[in-house]
Structure 1
Amino acid sequence: MEADILKNLVKNLNRYKAHKKSKDNEIIYETLLAHTELTNKYFFKFWQSKNSDEIFDRFCDVFWQKENIDNKLKNKAKDLLKEIIMTIPIFHDIGKVNPNFQLMKLKVNDFKENEAYVNTHHSFLSSMFYMDYCRKLVYDEKNEDEIVNLLAEFILYNGYIIARHHSELGSLTEFTKLINLDDDTYFSKLKRIINNEDIYSVKIDFIKSDIEDMFRNLNKVDKDAEKVGKRSIKQGVYLSIYIRWLYSLLVASDYYATSEFMNEADFSENTDLNDIDKWDSVYENTDLLKNIRQYQQERYPISNEELNTVTDINILRSEIFCEVEEKIKANTDENIFYLEAPTGSGKSNTAINASFKLMQHDKRLQKIFYIYPFNTLVEQNLETLEKVFADNEDIKQNIAVINSITPIKVSEKDLNDNEEKDVYQKALLDRQFLNYPMILSTHVSLFNIIFGNRQSDVLAFYQLANSVIVLDEIQSYKNKIWAEIICYLKELAKMFNIKIIIMSATLPDLDILSRFQAQAVDLLENSSRFFAVDCFKNRVKLNYDLLKVDKDSILDELKTHLKQYLKSDKKILIEFIKKKTAHDFWVDLQENEDFKDVQIEYLSGDDSIAERKRILDKVKKATDTIILVSTQVIEAGVDIDMDIGYKNISKLDSEEQFLGRINRSCKKEGIAYFFEVDEASDIYKDDVRLSESIVLKDVNMQKILELKLFDEYYKKVLETTMGKYSYHFDEFIKDISDLNYESISTHMKLIDDTQDMVQIYIIRTLCVDGEILDGKQIWDSYVDLWENGRKTMSYAEWKIELSRITSKMNNFIYQVSKHNLRIGKFYEQMGNITCLEDGDKYFIKDKFNREILYIEN
């Protein structure tokens, strides 16, 4: 089909090239037709592998649900819309007939420069050819007016996708400004020259009314879904997903096709999870699952009366596991699930089982994403999964971590079996397009895929279709965008057949913010009954006496207070919310004569994974008194079991997460003291959870924390959020309405811009997991890789080597504020990283002391 279309439209088609490569000192060209055929092959492959016909049907249903035409016409419109979608890959590069592209980009010397084309670009020209072709299909006299009305705007949307396929998704408005018929526009100039050149067989004859038809439904999203002639909020979201979906499919297909030509290798292998029963069988054969299944057969469910008397936390974990499994099996057709359960109740294990059960019921589900707030939790849960699947290397090879600090995964088996460069190219494609059955990553990475506008963000968007996504601790991010998150996720899940499990110990009822969308499924019918069990509710006694101490003297009082536990063989955790306060207090304890015989450690976000592991292992194994001073990194999901806790107050859900690190096993007596030295509002900007009436200074909040009445807490939080940030949600809907992907990306960033931060690489010698890392050698290798690596390696091999070396570099890199920075002389600078020598001088007792960077030296 693609050959016929191009041959009928482009004269002398075979003279046009799409790509070139060098092989054995010879330049080899790929023809435009060959590249188009490969792109079309991959587009069709991805379309089929992701059950895209079903996705397409759902889009048509929601786009045209209110149109007052009969089903026969709608079906005809669907067929025609699918035809013009499947034509996207055929036209995506047709603009490469631009003679300037052929001459200047590809150095095809039998072309002459033509200034009338203005530049060497091809994507907008491809879009122009595409829209003209599809306009003639849709406006055919055989088609009813109703069909034209349904499809006209989609010609524009699809044309926009082609126009942007080599760049980021910006704003549709920028594109539409280019498409008008005024004499002096770029569009009109291209139209004239194509019609006057001996290149294109068909005259491009847009007329003004056609353009107006395409523009008819732009910016028509209205909050009132019942208004005739206007698109509802939901439909606006669906349209933004539709464009993102097809853009992702096209870019992926183009990448794979180009890679096949460049590497002379087919990359069609399917790497989705097609044998969940095999994975589940291994999982069910673990000792943990055997014990749970035995409990399930013999005791589950126990009565509420018996539940209240349970002292063995494993019984509570088994009860939660079994109830969630039952609820999953009864609601397999639903898309959004909430799992709110106490800290230490086995949520991660429960979520694994829930994921597997969903996939066993719906064989269309092909991937599992486990998404966490921090890289440290990603690594921790990878260890858990590797223990589960310890005896099955095939499964472990199919679990991948996708983040900025983990090297690109290369199959050792593939390297041993095949020394060709396509092994590296396959590994790079796998990473870029998430070609793994099970993926562990962060909220930031996932939200970039869903909301980001850079091409690198959107590449793998299509891979979310037919997947299970477990979102852990979603409340850890700013509540300003909670409403946007849940509203968008619900519609995305509906369109893409995604099952999303949102879980936390403190989970807000996000349905309240979801603007009357369908309710999510609570996987625990009454989670409060588990929180009320003495084993969870009273495993830590709460003490607020230190909140009465003046801020100026609280640090001295803390040291005095700590002394009572120095000979108790207790594990003591102290959390501060400012890194400098934590660091200074740790140094103070180290230098205090009263604490000279006590083990004291300090954990912060500056620590490498190896250092973090060393500290946590030491704490876990300690049998004598040990004090761990920490920042907030200790809160979410860290698997340690302390006896006594001290915490600078912040948000109530943060307090509960902290309590989850105290007496985690419920086998001892735990106590937590709350104090205030730093203001939480200095750290968590614009967070309504810091209102005076809903923090621990308020006695009512103290009671809520003691009784675990988080529903009452979040009711207040959500009421405030809806009142304070309704305007923010309206801005999001306007961005959706305008199809302004750049604004959507900015609006939905989980982490505020870090333009005031710089990266510092500090040369030292470290021992990481028994390996000696020479910081200078690693830095020099990094510089050499940038300066010389591309001369000796393929791009894919270079990217993989770069990921490996940057993974090691993370042990030496620190982010610091530009404000008042006094670096002075430095060893070298590479990109945005400044390398400093004599690294040990920036450390006190082996901990980074960033203050040295802010004084003259």
Structure 2
Amino acid sequence: MYSYKLFSHENIPLITHIKNVGDRCYKIIKNKSVNFSYEKEKLMYVSKVMGYTHDLGKGTKYFQKYLHQMITYKKSDVNEKLRSHGLLSALYTYHMLKGFDEELALMAFTIVKRHHGNLENMDVEYTIDSVKAKNVKKQIKKQLNELEKEEIKYILEKLGLEYIDEKVLLNGIEDIVYEAFEQLNEIQENNDLDKYIIYKFLYSCLIFSDKEDAIFHKSNGIKYDIPCNVVDKYKTIKFKGKNSELGDIRNEISKDVEDGIKESNNRIMSITAPTGTGKTLMAISAALKLKEKLKKDMKIIYCLPFTSVIDQNYEVYSEIIEKVMGKDKVTNDRILKHHHLSDIKYVSEAQNYNDNKAKFLIENWNSQIVVTTFMQFFNTVFSDKNSQLVKYNNISNSIVLLDEVQSIPFKYWLIINKLFKVMAETLNIYFIFITATQPLIFKEDEITELISQPKKYFDKFKRTKLHINLDKIMYSDFLVEMEKMILEKKDKDILLILNTVKLAQSTYKFIKDMDLENTDEYFLSTGIIPKERRNRIRQIKIGNIQLDKFTYTSILKLKTKVKANLKDKITKLNKNKRRKLVVSTQLIEAGVDIDMDIVVRDMATIDSINQSSGRCNRENRGEYLGDVYLYNLTNEKGTEYNSFIYDNYLITKTKEVLEDKDVIYEEEYLNMNKQYFEKVKKDMTEDDSKKLIKFINELKFKDVANNFKLIDVQNKISVFIETDDYAKAIWNKYKEIMNEKDVLLRKERFNTIKKDFYDNVVNIFKTKVKESEEMGIAYVSYEALNGSYDRETGYKMEENDVIL
């Protein structure tokens, strides 16, 4: 029996690891319904060879010494280049596949070479000058001289691969340079997005399998067991005996969507429905019904533009599973949320994880239903980063729900149109775009609307009317009008949405100074720490609670102390309901589920105006009970405040749609939205998208990533606000963790406090931050709180600040 001496990781023989990785790569592709320009069997073989060869470079004495020193002493004196294994392993990969398929061999060479790094532009990757080639050859020769050849031969024999002579490997460096140069010319003339997708898919298969085996030493499959009618069952349980006009409309729309799913053969679909029509339940039900129709195990990836909404939607979906399948079935292999503040905790029926294993399972979306952000999804689609592309293979065989798609910048419409159509076919993805204001990303013959007649439902809603005044109004005059409205509408809950924090803060102070009776004032902006924002939103929402029979029955099931407190609060609210005045920035549009009588909105784009209207008479308490007032605020110089926030092109198109109109009723919103997006599409520049398409065709992975920014990068800095003893304890813990010398351990320890830490963090423009940075973040101590932070209005801004 052969005694293996080479190891890939601590106590893991090299042959065990590379065989597991190769077999896992092969299995991933075998189980996927992918449809590339290459035969599936060909890709399966190439991926297996990549897995079998990706760590052969660890067979040198240099690496084995490095591994031993790191395990024993946590440090090593072995030369970094000589202990590296990517390039030597890649040479083996290339020669194993050269005779099989030259193009795929070169692709595999680059993937293996980069499997511990990020993807590079191919013009950089494939351009090697003579000096560099000479240095590479010198390095490889040294590594080959210290290669444990006997064991490598034995390993390759066991894996069914031929041993490559060291002379062939060395001479092959020039061959690769020549072949790369030839292929680079072909790539530069390429007009096929397929190559970009297959490159990232194969890369993801390898790095995913490599990391999974290194962490778990086994694969982590998902058993798909969520019933396709789970939402129907949930609604029967949840709303039994509760009938309302709004509920009937919601059920009618859901039935319409279900019928649309049955009839559609398109991979790109849309759901266009008014705000407040239960899209959260409708979307997941549609995806499950589509999965049932396809008769395939498909991951459901539900994407939202805002982190703040993810938690509430995740809770809804968790409740669905709990009510129908049982509380013990609410596990992360069934429902998972993932954003940058997610807890590093993964619970399955078999085992619980709260370490690197949990991190891997969460970040790679190991679940039947994933609730995540646009940022996470689009970063995966357009990124060049190893850490983000590791889950790229997991978006294949999936149903992707993109909610509130109107938030996608119009400059990216063309690239999303082109790329998603190819991804849908090659990776077996079904896209469903969900919104009340459907942007014209796809032509009518490219996308299937699942609601047969959206206008029918928009016509049924007569909740709000939009009062339009595009004339410029000085802020001081606006305040006079607001004072009059607030005093006249004494029984109305009013929401004011301003375009800048400073403007919102000033407006809130003005209202507070009115010293109103029987009124609760609330202020919301991103300048307030997240945990306090959530608390205020809960307080605003609780004022809407009416103690009906259904609510009362639910309260009776609660624990005695909680039940008594909640009943007491609700009873008091119902006996003496206080009026609510809320002042906010655009933050309130981010899916915050509140219901107001009047909404006042500073000038914005049509889609934002629509979202603002969705906070008014949301529960359809009566016909046209909701009034939405649009003002065009200016400063003393006559500059419109919207110009600090919105693209002038979009504001111009909004004004074109709204000009010569005094009032628009809700049933007319659909047509208003359509006119707006038609105008935007007609005259918009597609230069940004065309540049991205060019980079994708040329396989310039880094340039693609650098030029796709879903949210414009702003020069902001994070500020930790210490408002109480718990925040002080978290800050002290953070300082302790940051002094940890081991980078990986430091990151792991920070993950344990990450959510609590960022609950106390606001992001402010660097030029406006008064505090100095401490360990990568600015810090406001409890003792210095009054100088920098107001508990009601948040971080104290300068007079000319316009932060959202």
| Alignment check: 8 A CA contact 1:554 1:676 kept | no
Amino acid at match of 2:236: D
Q: Distance in 1 between matches of 2:231 and 2:282?
A: 16
TM-aligned CA deviation for residue 651 of structure 1: 0.2
TM, length-normalised to structure 1: 0.78
Residues 1:95 and 1:393: Cα distance change in structure 2 (over 3 Å):
same
Amino acid at match of 1:251: I
User: Which residue pairs with 2:736 in the alignment?
Assistant: 784
Which of 417, 421, 426 is the matching residue for 1:490? 421
Amino acid at match of 2:728: K
Which of 50, 54, 71 is the matching residue for 1:88? 50
SS of structure 2 residue aligned to 1:397: coil
Which of 339, 346, 357 is the matching residue for 1:403? 339
User: Which residue pairs with 2:229 in the alignment?
Assistant: 280
User: Which residue pairs with 2:95 in the alignment?
Assistant: 132
> Are 1:665 and 2:597 counterparts?
no
Amino acid at match of 1:259: I
Once the two structures are superposed, the pairs formed by residues 737-752 of structure 1 within 5 Å of their partners are 737-752=697-712
TM-aligned CA deviation for residue 812 of structure 1: 1.4
Which of 781, 785, 789 is the matching residue for 1:836? 781
User: Which residue pairs with 1:481 in the alignment?
Assistant: 412
| Alignment check: 8 A CA contact 1:650 1:695 kept | no
> Are 1:218 and 2:166 counterparts?
no
Q: Distance in 2 between matches of 1:483 and 1:244?
A: 21
| Alignment check: 8 A CA contact 2:653 2:676 kept | no
Of residues 546-555 and 381-390 in structure 1, the stretch that sits farther from structure 2 once superposed is 546-555
User: Which residue pairs with 2:204 in the alignment?
Assistant: 248
Q: Distance in 2 between matches of 1:742 and 1:493?
A: 23
Amino acid at match of 1:850: K
Which of 396, 401, 424 is the matching residue for 2:355? 424
Q: Cα RMSD over matched residues? A: 3.5
Residues 1:504 and 1:701: Cα distance change in structure 2 (over 3 Å):
farther
| Alignment check: 8 A CA contact 1:219 1:737 kept | no
Q: Distance in 2 between matches of 1:13 and 1:578?
A: 69
User: Which residue pairs with 2:526 in the alignment?
Assistant: 605
Amino acid at match of 2:15: L
Amino acid at match of 2:121: S
TM, length-normalised to structure 2: 0.83
| Alignment check: 8 A CA contact 1:428 1:799 kept | no
> Are 1:654 and 2:604 counterparts?
no
User: Which residue pairs with 1:141 in the alignment?
Assistant: none
Q: Distance in 1 between matches of 2:295 and 2:641?
A: 46
Residues 1:281 and 1:94: Cα distance change in structure 2 (over 3 Å):
same
> Deviation per CA, 1:509-563, whole angstroms, max 9, x where unpaired?
2114xxx9x6111112221232233xx2x32122235845344522333223322
> Deviation per CA, 1:383-433, whole angstroms, max 9, x where unpaired?
3223323432243223221112221123397678xxxxx763432221232
SS of structure 2 residue aligned to 1:408: coil
User: Which residue pairs with 1:158 in the alignment?
Assistant: 108
> Are 1:393 and 2:315 counterparts?
no
User: Which residue pairs with 1:851 in the alignment?
Assistant: 797
User: Which residue pairs with 1:354 in the alignment?
Assistant: 286
User: Which residue pairs with 2:558 in the alignment?
Assistant: none
TM-aligned CA deviation for residue 571 of structure 1: 1.1
User: Which residue pairs with 2:36 in the alignment?
Assistant: 59
> Deviation per CA, 1:781-828, whole angstroms, max 9, x where unpaired?
22223435969xx95xx756533412111221111111153226x8xx
TM-aligned CA deviation for residue 620 of structure 1: 3.1
Aligned-pair identity (%): 23
User: Which residue pairs with 2:494 in the alignment?
Assistant: 572
User: Which residue pairs with 1:439 in the alignment?
Assistant: 370
Q: Distance in 2 between matches of 1:687 and 1:124?
A: 50
SS of structure 2 residue aligned to 1:615: helix
| Alignment check: 8 A CA contact 1:449 1:458 kept | yes
User: Which residue pairs with 2:717 in the alignment?
Assistant: 758
User: Which residue pairs with 2:549 in the alignment?
Assistant: none
| Alignment check: 8 A CA contact 1:341 1:530 kept | yes
Unpaired stretches in structure 1, ≥5 consecutive residues: 4-11, 21-28, 64-74, 139-150, 223-229, 261-265, 296-310, 417-421, 766-772
SS of structure 2 residue aligned to 1:36: helix
> Are 1:588 and 2:510 counterparts?
yes
> Are 1:319 and 2:244 counterparts?
no
> Deviation per CA, 1:124-169, whole angstroms, max 9, x where unpaired?
221122112222x33xxxxxxxxxxxx3222111111111110111
TM-aligned CA deviation for residue 741 of structure 1: 1.3
| Alignment check: 8 A CA contact 2:61 2:146 kept | no
> Are 1:808 and 2:743 counterparts?
no
Amino acid at match of 2:793: K
Q: How many residues are aligned here?
A: 733
| Alignment check: 8 A CA contact 2:501 2:525 kept | yes
Q: Distance in 1 between matches of 2:591 and 2:375?
A: 17
Residues 1:701 and 1:90: Cα distance change in structure 2 (over 3 Å):
farther
| Alignment check: 8 A CA contact 1:604 1:633 kept | yes
SS of structure 1 residue aligned to 2:36: helix
Which of 583, 586, 591 is the matching residue for 1:637? 591
TM-aligned CA deviation for residue 843 of structure 1: 3.4
TM-aligned CA deviation for residue 467 of structure 1: 1.4
User: Which residue pairs with 1:689 in the alignment?
Assistant: 650
Once the two structures are superposed, the pairs formed by residues 21-40 of structure 1 within 5 Å of their partners are 29-40=11-22
Once the two structures are superposed, the pairs formed by residues 220-369 of structure 1 within 5 Å of their partners are 220=186, 231-232=190-191, 235=192, 237-260=193-216, 266-272=217-223, 274-277=224-227, 280-281=229-230, 283-287=232-236, 312-331=245-264, 333-369=265-301
User: Which residue pairs with 2:453 in the alignment?
Assistant: 526
Unpaired stretches in structure 2, ≥5 consecutive residues: 150-163, 544-576, 635-639
> Are 1:42 and 2:24 counterparts?
yes
Residues 1:787 and 1:414: Cα distance change in structure 2 (over 3 Å):
farther
Q: Distance in 2 between matches of 1:734 and 1:701?
A: 45
Residues 1:107 and 1:221: Cα distance change in structure 2 (over 3 Å):
closer
| Alignment check: 8 A CA contact 1:822 1:853 kept | no
TM-aligned CA deviation for residue 738 of structure 1: 2.0
TM-aligned CA deviation for residue 267 of structure 1: 3.9
Residues 1:199 and 1:386: Cα distance change in structure 2 (over 3 Å):
closer
Which of 713, 720, 725 is the matching residue for 2:683? 720
Amino acid at match of 2:53: F
Q: Distance in 1 between matches of 2:501 and 2:194?
A: 42
User: Which residue pairs with 2:539 in the alignment?
Assistant: 618
Amino acid at match of 1:408: I
SS of structure 1 residue aligned to 2:83: coil
User: Which residue pairs with 1:70 in the alignment?
Assistant: none
SS of structure 2 residue aligned to 1:749: coil
> Deviation per CA, 1:164-218, whole angstroms, max 9, x where unpaired?
110111212222123x677853344356556777766513243867754454443
Q: Distance in 2 between matches of 1:581 and 1:315?
A: 41
TM-aligned CA deviation for residue 751 of structure 1: 1.2
SS of structure 2 residue aligned to 1:510: coil
